[in-house]
Amino acid sequence: MLKYLSTPYRAISNRQLSNPWIGWAFFVALLIALPLIIVFSNIFMDGGTTWQHILKNLLPGYAINTLILMAGVALLTFIIGVSTAWFTSTYHFPGSRFFTWALILPIALPAYISGFTWAGILDYASPVYVFFRNYLGVDMGQFLFFNILSIPGAIIILSLSLYPYVYLITRAWFSRQSSNLFEVAASLGKKPGAIFFGVALPMARPAIVAGISLALMEVLNDYGLARHFGVDTFTTGIFTAWFSFSHPQSGLKLSAYLMIFVLALILMERFQRRQMRYDMVGNHYRPLEKKKLKGFMAAMAFTASVIPFLLGFLIPVIMLVYWSIKTAPQVVDYRFWELLGNSFMLAGLASLIVLGVALFIAFTVRSFPSPFVRILSRIATLGYALPGAVVAIGILVPFLWLDAYLLQWSGTGMRLALTGTWLALLYAYLVRFMAVGYNSVDSGMERISKSLDEASRSLGHSNMTTLFKINIPLLSGAMVSAALLVFIDVLKELPLTLILRPFNFDTLAIRAFEFASDERVAEAAPAALIIIITGMLPVLLLHKILGKDNK
């Protein structure tokens, strides 16, 4: 008996270790975790005098500003996201069908682009100002209560481009609710307002918090807007440490502190989700029947929806189009096309790499679903929570070591630098955007019955041929959407690319940001517009899918 028991256990553990799929997945997970490990291990090291200076004089300010930004964005995205989600999912009002998808569009506008566009619009010399002054004889400045280049300004702009996270998740949650639930509340004599605050809102809490957490992660990730608006946050602090003080050690330490924010955010989100687990009203599910709003309520719903759409999307885009038309003849030269080529090439390569690795990891989890392998997949997708600057610093530091080592090894004559190459940049994108690709691929794979894989295996095919002959052909849709999402994320990525890009290498996002930093907002418009149009693709595709579901 004992012999029977012991032999197979040995066989299994040998299989786990020698299995090339699991072995490679382990390697990939390690590679992706490396920047994180480096950032964290640094927290205990001595930072030197530069760090002492930052710690004493700058860190408190960074922390306070970051916290204020987070609190403000949490509040504002909550108000905009939840109210629009509630109105569009439960009521008919003028334009409600249009707003259902149009309210997602601001997600295509990165906060830093929206930020410098609004700063441009509200500038004293902007065409809007000039128009009001010259044709209507009105000085718009007297109506503006505050300078947009401030913390409140940053909060508003960030919220306008991040509320779609809250809107999308909350709206999906509302639409999945059975209308019985709300009808019961109504039959108990509750007024619509009381139903919203008493039933819908508390029940949707997990969805709302999930959406706000995503928005806040983007706040921590943001560099461009904070820098443009002159708000010193952790992320801009990392840049200051690296570029102004040339002190990567301090950058690492700041990154570690920033990670604590991220971790707290993730834990809070997890915790509240575990506390609250509601059963769906199972058997008698009826989708929400939308009620028609009239009069004052309809006007209110319309206003609540049109403001975020106008401010978060339409006005900045119209402005960018106007500027693009004006500046295109000078800006769009051969350098611009080179830039476009760079950006698309980089984004294309990154999305192919992410797609390949995501496929590999997802298939390994599918074929060898042990707890160990599941943990590996979790580690491999950690990067979505890491701000781009943290990933960049976490990769930059080991690459600098490696370069120093290579220099020593190769003698003095040759310089085999890896820092500032596409290799470092692509590695960073893999770490940062792995989760985006993985989630698409994985949810696509889950829709394929596992017995298809097993049928293929029993017919004599290995795991590898099964992946190529069965899974990949059936995954084409999920693979396209995974690649597209990563492509767009890379295209608009700013902080990570700024830190790791090769010398003299520009992308559309960097060029737009640099023009805007030089107070040449109009020249930044063409590059910004290309990023926005590409970013709209998945929203429009999503709308098509949503439309199908409705029918």
Partner 1 sequence: MSILELKNTGKKFAGSQEWAVKGFDLTIEKGEIVGLLGESGCGKTTLLRMIAGFETPTQGTILINGQVVAGQGVFIEPQNRLVGIVFQDYALFPHKTVWENITFGLFKLTRHQASVKARGILELTGLQGLEERYPHQLSGGQKQRVALARAMAPEPNIILFDEPFSNIDSMRKHQMRDHIQNIIQETGATAVFVTHDTKDVMAMADKVSVIRKGKALQTDTPPNLYNFPANTYVADFFGKTNLIKAKVSEQGLETPLGIMQSNQNLPASMGEVLLSIRPEEFKISEHEPNCFCGNIVKERFLGEYKELTCKIETNTGDDTEIVIYAAPHIDCSSQKCYFRPNQDKINIINRD
Binding positions for partner 1, rule: CB under 8 A: 4-5, 7-12, 15, 370-371, 449, 451-452, 454-462, 469-470, 473-474
Q: How far is the CB of 376 from partner 1 (least distance, A)?
A: 16
Question: Which CB sits closer to partner 1, 11 or 263?
Answer: 11
Q: How far is the CB of 489 from partner 1 (least distance, A)?
A: 29
DSSP for 65-120, please give it. HHHHHHHHHHHHHHHHHHHHHHHHHHEE-TTHHHHHHHTTGGGGS-HHHHHHHHHH
Q: Which of 456, 473, 441, 458 is nearest to 365 (CA)?
A: 441
Question: Which CB sits closer to partner 1, 14 or 410?
Answer: 14
Q: How far is the CB of 356 from partner 1 (least distance, A)?
A: 21
CB 429 within 8 A of CB 493: yes
Cα torsion at 458, 464, 467, 472 (round to 10°)?
A: -140
Question: Which CB sits closer to partner 1, 12 or 260?
Answer: 12
Chain centroid to Cα 75, Å, comes to 19
Q: Which of 250, 287, 286, 259 is nearest to 53 (CA)?
A: 250
Q: How far is the CB of 241 from partner 1 (least distance, A)?
A: 46
Question: Which CB sits closer to partner 1, 12 or 310?
Answer: 12
Question: Which CB sits closer to partner 1, 275 or 451?
Answer: 451
CB 171 within 8 A of CB 279: no
Question: Which CB sits closer to partner 1, 294 or 450?
Answer: 450
Q: How far is the CB of 444 from partner 1 (least distance, A)?
A: 14
Q: Locate tokens 């008493």: which residue?
A: 198
Q: Which of 213, 240, 242, 241 is nearest to 227 (CA)?
A: 240
CB 37 within 8 A of CB 439: no
Q: Which of 37, 23, 19, 26 is nearest to 380 (CA)?
A: 26
Question: Which CB sits closer to partner 1, 4 or 44?
Answer: 4
| Cβ-count burial 383-393 (b if 16+ within 10 Å, e if not) | bbbbbbbbbbb
Question: Which CB sits closer to partner 1, 2 or 125?
Answer: 2
DSSP for 260-290, please give it. HHHHHHHHHHHHHHHH--PPP--TT--BPPP
Q: How far is the CB of 16 from partner 1 (least distance, A)?
A: 11
Q: How far is the CB of 279 from partner 1 (least distance, A)?
A: 23
Q: How far is the CB of 455 from partner 1 (least distance, A)?
A: 4
